[in-house]
Structure 1
Amino acid sequence: MKTYTLTLDDLGNIETQNVETIFAQANGFMGVRASLPIQANDSLPGTFINGFYETHPIIYGENAYGYAKNHETMVKCFDLRTLELSVNGEVLSVLTERNLKLNLMTGILSETYLYETNLGQQIKLELESFTSHFNRTTYAQKIKITALNFSGEVHVKKEAKLLLPNSSKDFDPRVREASVNLQKQGNQYTTANSKLSLYTKFDEIDETFQLNPTQSFEFEQLNQISKENQFEIVSYERLKVEQVKIFDTFWSVSDIEIDGDETLQKGVRVNLYHLFNSAGRDGKTNFGAKGLTGEGYEGHYFWDTEMYLLPFFTHTQPEIAKSLLTYRLNILPQAKQRAKELGFAGALYAWRTQSGHETSAYYPAGTAQVHINADIAYALELYEKVTGDSAFIQSAKEIIYETARFWLSYGFMSQRGFEIHEVTGPDEYTALVNNNYYTNKMAQNNLRYAVRLAHTFKENQEEATFWQTAADKMYFGYDETSKITKQDDSFLDKQVWDFAHTPKENYPLLLHYHPMKIYKHQVLKQADTILAHMLFAEEKAQVARDFDFYEPLTTHDSSLSRAIHGVVASRLGRTQQAYDFFADSATMDLSDMQGNASHGIHAANMGGTWLGLIYGFAGLHIDNGELKIENHLPKQIKALRFNILYQGKLQSFELKNEKN
């Protein structure tokens, strides 16, 4: 089917580096960008290994106690795709045609390139490749070289090449050079500072052969990378057969069918494909903001996983969800250490990290986003509700207790109630405020979940009393005059950003204005109070007033924003607005809406696409232990079909648009 196949025609912007991101392949351990097979200046090859990073000291002009100490940058290790090709001694360098076809059903990429020499001798280069989900250490390629219009000597050389540092001078705080000088000893590669090691087993070819017109030369390569010096003997065809089986199982549960819009159907499947590919599976790694497709955000793990990605995995691939949550359990010691370092009780999870240690150099938009604690607690609670896996929750309950202890330590009781000051909510254009609504709402939920677990497991009873009191007395700001929920204590008192005189090219604001300029205004980067309304049921009229107030102030500079607004618009019955937000979310990377697809996929937005469909259009929610749906389909969608795993049983749903 067309909607299970991605080609260049599906991309609104076909810059080479964007193509390399969108057609990238990954398997949770390894990711390989779909770079050009013959070296070119506009190509950005890269192989990323989940959790393989180098550290560098963060240099502050003015340091202070408790600042993050080190960068952790995922390494862009090897070029596994480039080959050298010459005809009668003349190097091929002129690309005249390229076609890519990614089979989303199997994770197998097929490519065709036409190259020619200055003398007009033409070669057709055909590639088939995949990152194996059966043997995650392996990137498999089959390559076919065909002479089109000449007879002569063809030389091919293909070997894995270590990528060396080549820093870009472009200013963008979201990107950092990811190539490093790895130390090589035999088949072992080690980072200089973090002391992490990889082992390799690479196939190489260096051969000359004679070809006549239409004759071909074909070979296979199995390039293997592992964190341990052990490699299984594998064959290309066996790996391919198993790849098809694994993807078939994935789609049988996770596919979503949309009738009425082929473009959005394909966008949804591309997004689900990348979600499946980049999720860590070993409990020691997680899901980077750009997956394993690019070097944006240094490969760091954020709250994106818990709030935007885990709903999809929890409802369709619970074993992957469990692995991602296990990572949080495994880095709990680092979170406890961080809270202690800052002078608080319990645990404070790092805002951006791989090792578990905080790496965010700008604390107002990093460490101050303490809501990550409650985000993780929310994700664990959702996992318990959906899967019924009480054994895992019992093993992970210390996360809930320790984060509850943090809230009691970080907040305080006043005449107004339990307040939490000096925080940054999801809206990163508003920093270091008091009583951010989202943070307080999530902290309240975190505390109540801790109380419930304490009663269930008959422990921490004395602490649970204090947790219950803090939750019950949590303070939420509200403006009685305008009947608007306060994003924080000061937001409504600020001057509105001058949107009318802000040039289009000055978005995103963070690249064109100093934080002090942004922070003093009413302007949002993304959903904040509206995200809280998506997660917790509120009076519909109140949600509508808040939506009408906050959405016009929102730039949607963050890729995380549109999907959330779409879900809430659906629930408000604003189906056209919901559809517009969803359409943007579904095709964000295909159209390069954010202008930075070359840095890697927008993984959280891809999870947001699932939220838009399932939480929004289908209105999925849990009511008294039962799955319920509400039909909010917009007129553009005739029918919606999807599956949900609930309490270990697969349930299938179909919604039809009665208005059509």
Structure 2
Amino acid sequence: MKDFIIHDNWKVIEDQYHPEWNEISESLMSLGNGRMGGRANFEEKFSGKTLQGNYVAGVYYPDKTRVGWWKNGYPDYFAKVLNGANWIGIDITVGEEELDLAECEVLDFHRELDMKEGHLVRRFTAKLPSGKIVEVKSQRFMSIVDSETGAIRYSVKAVNFQDKVTIKPYVDFDVMNKDTNYDEKFWNEVEKEVSNGEGFITAETRKTLFHVTTGMKYQIFIDGEKQSFKADLEERVKYISNITSFDIKEGQTITIEKIGVNLSSEYAEKSDLVDQAKVFLNKAFEKGFDQMLDEHKKAWEVKWETSDIIIEGDAAAQQGIRFNIFQLNQTYTGEDPRLNIGPKGFTGEKYGGSTYWDTEAYCLPFYLATAPEEISKNLLLYRYKHLDRAIENAKKLGFKNGAALYPMVTMNGEECHNEWEITFEEIHRNGAIAFAIYEYIRYTNDFEYLAPYGFEVLLGISRFWTQRVNWSNYQNKYVMLGVTGPNEYENNVDNNYHTNRLAQWTLQYTREAVAYLKENHAAEYASLKEKWNFNEEEEVSKWTHIIDNMYFPYDETRQIFLQQDNFLNKEIIPTAEMGAENRPINQKWSWDRILRSCYIKQADTLQSLYLFEDDFDVETIKRHFDFYEPITVHESSLSPCIHNILASKIGNQEKAYEMYLRTARLDLDDYNNDTEDGLHITSMGGTWMGFVMGFGGFRARNNRLILNPFLPKEWKGYSFKVNFRGAHLKVQTTHDHTIIENISDVACDLTVFDKEYTLAANDTIKL
């Protein structure tokens, strides 16, 4: 755990130079706008510890799978989100000395991410080896108004010298991925051009043949006065730059304003890509840095109006929740159903930047409650459009008759994850996708989504579960063998409770969907039966038999469902009895030792109790929580939020607060020693869930919103906002009262502390 980020309500602040932690700061202060983004790398040359990263949404490379022993069914490749062109680069030379903080004496340093306004500022004073001192200030943002562009303002002040200062803005497409399997470069140059004050490079991805044009255009000022210049032009493979020099007097400041553009062939024809990139770049350049920034700030103001959470009396908690909301909002805008939410967003390469089940399980609730309905619907349509690929994935493993297995990791619907125990055993992801359909409909009341989109996906998943279970004569039940649950510290187990429960529930929900379609969309249902060769009587009968006869491991003594058949064969030792030197176990222990231990990476059986809480009384949930949480090491970013919610449910407020801080500040404090690889974007949706569903007791049930708020003793008060079927509510809680304000023209039915209300449009209740 690190503690070098200053606590602030609206900013992420690093107030000293920490070269050993620079990659962590680069992750924390990453910027994005849904279409492109990048890490908080320095604009000037830096030879110290850094992970250079700029990313363009939807562009990837199928890096050939690298394994020691090939197994039938392995995906051919692992999809890599590509490190794109470095467009932010501005090399600075003073006299003959290149500015490089790794080679200078850093006299002071300050870097901050302004989450309220969405921009990054860095200031430092450095003494060059010659003794010359420079003061530098940079400001950068990725425009959420002109989403193809970003802007930089970079100033250098000559503190104690008079000399020539050379500025070299550039675009460099000669980049690599840190996580490449074979140390390959993934881009081939298509064309480039460079002229005085601007330049463009178009490159093509190998294999997938995406084209991306990246360009720059800039202007230079001395003490605020715009300069005319004639740059020396530089070209080499996948690289262009301008080189300009100015004689600077002591005390003068030279400033470059650089606008960058990234445009991919997903949004323009390849033949027209350069011309379109020029249009976008010129439009932004004509606005200028100040106007672009002003529009950008106003757009962020709108985002915060609907999604902000306010905590009074705890700067660490306040910074944590806003950091999570900020990163979610700049990663995914929901405007393009071809895009999804990568686990690292625009902050790093790890996990391939692809789509995981995390989206459905942890991100969908945030967008349902804080964004327009179509954004959540686009997340579901993303999976619907990949249904044919999910069927292909299942067929490769021997499934038939339209059975669908959605991928563990994907860019285009095809499985591209290559760890056997996860790719082919962690099949609970299918259930998460089915549950997302149910959750979307429950929240929005958009039952029309079932015809045809939802039903087709549910049918494919149900056919998979029907074939994946088998009848056990020994148990006289249906069992599920050889799986890995959410707890990846157990592999190839039998009858993981969460997997079996999701399979049973999916079959039940699909059966209900059939009944709904027959009654409400008879003609379309008949068409769907024909399209999918659906033998209703035979298949529904099979589903019913599985539903009624699914096996769940259970311990009568403890009266709890077991995580898997043999869980109690393990030695149960609480994590509190482990020495600190053993943590995190995934970095300190052998895999063999982990697999034989009782320790749980993330909520597993408890994940089901969270999803299906209405099926259990509070005492049952408490028994399970009190058994499983003490042996959970929370080494998955997806774990603390679920425990936060369940701890709140059972009244364990101290544990709820502990788990909230852990999920909210997971990256800010580098709990798991992995923030340098990028942020845990999808778990940030879980942070929002932990706050609103945990402390707020927020649920949507039976066409009503349910609220059971409580206030942690560490706080003075809090407020959050949610949307529900056209109503927009603000919930404020203190130690004395709760106020619920309807700031919309739509009435809303509420249940608060088990009492029912109808909150009229633009009305308020105080409890």
Same fold by TM (over 0.5)? Answer: yes
For the 8 Å contact 1:420–1:440, the answer to whether it is kept is yes
| Deviation of 1:559 (Å) | 1.6
The answer on 1:327 being equivalent to 2:374 is no
Check the 8 A contact 2:41/2:50 in 1, yes or no: yes
**How many residues align structurally?**
654
SS of alignment partner, residue 457 of structure 1:
helix
Alignment-derived partner of residue 485 in structure 2:
425
C-alpha spacing 1:14/1:386, structure 2 compared with 1 (3 Å)? farther
Q: Does 1:221 align with 2:258?
A: yes
Q: Which residue of 2 aligns with 1:67?
A: 74
Specify which of 60, 63, 70 is matched with residue 56 of structure 1: 63
Distance verdict in 2 for CA 1:191–1:211, change over 3 Å: same
CA shift, 1:246, in A, is 2.0
Residues 1:176 and 1:251: Cα distance change in structure 2 (over 3 Å): farther
Is the 2:341–2:682 contact (alpha carbons within 8 Å) kept by the matching residues of 1?
no
Tell me if structure 1 keeps the 8 A contact 2:362–2:683.
yes
Match of 1:495 in 2: 571
* Partner of residue 394 from structure 2, selected from 321, 339, 361: 339
Aligned to 1:193: 207
Asked if 1:78 is matched to 2:131, the reply is no
1:536 corresponding residue in structure 2:
612
Between 57-66 and 636-645, the greater mean CA deviation after superposition? 57-66
Q: 1:59 to 1:620 in 2, by over 3 A?
A: same
CA distance in 1, matches of 2:634, 2:17: 22
Letter paired with 1:210 = D
Alpha-carbon spacing, 1:274–1:542, altered in 2? closer, same or farther (3 Å): same
- 1:462-499 residue CA offsets vs partner (Å, 9 max, x unmatched): 33443344334333221112212111112122334696
- Supply the distance in 2 between the matched residues of 1:23 and 1:654 (Cα, whole angstroms): 30
The structural deviation recorded for 1:202 is 2.6
Q: Deviations over 1:29-50 (max 9, x none)?
A: 2121111232232122210122
Cα drift, residue 190 of structure 1 = 1.5
Match of 1:26 among 13, 23, 32: 32
The structural deviation recorded for 1:63 is: 1.7
Work out whether 1:247 is the aligned partner of 2:300: yes
Query: Which residue of the partner structure matches residue 417 of structure 2?
Result: 360
User: Does the CA-based 8 Å contact 2:370-2:723 persist in structure 1?
Assistant: yes
Pair 543,338 (structure 1): closer, same or farther in 2 beyond 3 Å: same
Distance 1:356 1:517 in 2: 35
Instruction: After superposition, give the CA deviation of every residue in 1:406-445 in whole Å (9 maximum; x if it has no partner).
Output: 1111113446433322211100011222221111222223
Aligned residues of 1:21 and 1:33 also touching (Cα < 8 A): yes
Match of 2:43 in 1: 37
Q: How far did residue 448 of structure 1 move?
A: 2.5
Shift of 1:501: 8.3
Query: How far apart in 2 are the matches of 1:494 and 1:51?
Result: 44
Q: In structure 2, give the amino acid aligned to 1:197.
A: H
Question: Which residue does 1:519 correspond to in 2?
Answer: 595
Q: After TM superposition, list the pairs within 5 Å mapping 1:253-264 onto structure 2.
A: 253-264=306-317
SS of equivalent residue, structure 2 residue 152: strand
Deviation at 1:9, TM superposition (A): 4.8
CA distance in 2, matches of 1:395, 1:155: 62
The worse-fitting range, judged by mean Cα deviation, of 256-265 and 141-150 is 141-150
| Per-residue deviation, 1:79 | 2.2
Structure 1, 4-13 or 413-422: larger mean CA deviation: 4-13
Aligned equivalent of 1:369: 426
Counterpart Cα distance in 1 of 2:498 and 2:572: 21
Whole-angstrom CA distance in 2 between matches of 1:498 and 1:628: 35
Q: TM-score, normalised by structure 1?
A: 0.93
Paired AA for residue 67 in structure 2: Y
Letter matched to residue 29 of structure 1: R
> Corresponding residue for 1:109?
120
Match of 2:624 in 1: 546
In 1: Cα distance, 2:47 partner to 2:374 partner: 40
TM-superposed CA distance for 1:164, in Å, is 3.1
Structure 1 segments, 4+ long, off by >6 Å, are 10-14, 175-179
CA offsets per residue over residues 585-612 of structure 1, 9 Å max, x none? 1111111111111100112332221111
User: Is 1:147–2:202 an aligned residue pair?
Assistant: no
Alignment partner of 2:189: what SS? strand
Alignment pair present for 1:404 and 2:418: no
Q: CA deviation at 1:371?
A: 0.8
Distance change in 2, residues 1:10/1:215 (3 Å):
closer
The answer for the alignment partner of 1:266 in structure 2 is 319
Match of 2:343 among 286, 289, 292: 289
Q: CA deviation at 1:177?
A: 8.6
Between 38-47 and 564-573, report the one with greater CA deviation: 38-47
Q: Give CA-to-partner distance per residue, 1:169-219, whole Å, 9 cap, x none.
A: xxxxxx979972410011321222333322222335421112222322223
Answering whether residue 542 of structure 2 is matched by residue 478 of structure 1, we say no
Does the 8 A contact of 1:21 with 1:599 survive in 2?
yes
Residue deviations 1:58-105 (CA, integer Å, cap 9, x gap)? 133322211222121111122233321112222223243221232211
**Matched residue, 2:97:** 90
Amino acid at match of 2:35: F
Partner residue, 1:652: 730
SS in 2 for 1:78: coil
The residue aligned with 2:687 is 609
Is the 1:280–1:286 Cα contact (8 Å) retained in structure 2?
Answer: no
User: How far apart are the structure 1 equivalents of 2:311 and 2:16?
Assistant: 17
Secondary structure of the corresponding residue to residue 458 of structure 2: helix
Q: Which amino acid aligns with 1:492?
A: L
Q: In 2, distance between residues paired with 1:124 and 1:141?
A: 17
Distance in 1 between residues matched to 2:357 and 2:16, nearest whole Å: 30
Residues of 1 paired with 2:214 and 2:480: CA distance? 49
Q: Tell me the residue number matched to 1:171.
A: none
The CA deviation at 1:11 is 12
Residues 158-169 of structure 1 aligned to structure 2 (within 5 Å): 158-165=169-176
Distance 1:535 1:12 in 2: 42
TM-score normalised over the length of structure 2: 0.81
Distance 2:291 2:178 in 1: 40
Go from structure 1 to structure 2 and tell me whether the alpha carbon gap of 1:442 and 1:598 turns closer, same or farther (over 3 Å shift).
same
How many Å apart are 1:224 and its aligned residue? 1.0
Q: Which whole-Å CA distance do the structure 2 matches of 1:598 and 1:541 have between them?
A: 41
Q: Give the superposed CA RMSD.
A: 2.6
Identity across the alignment (%): 30
CA distance in 2, matches of 1:46, 1:221: 18
Contact 1:176 1:295 in 2 (8 A): no
Q: Distance in 1 between matches of 2:19 and 2:377?
A: 36
Give the conservation status (yes or no) of the 8 Å contact 1:8–1:99: yes
Question: Residue 87 of structure 2 contacts residue 216 of structure 2 at CA under 8 Å; is this kept in 1?
Answer: no
Letter in structure 2 aligned against 1:23: M
CA shift for structure 1 position 641 = 0.9
User: Aligned partners of 2:673, 2:597: CA distance in 1, in Å?
Assistant: 25
Q: Of the candidates 113, 116, 133, which is equivalent to residue 122 of structure 1?
A: 133
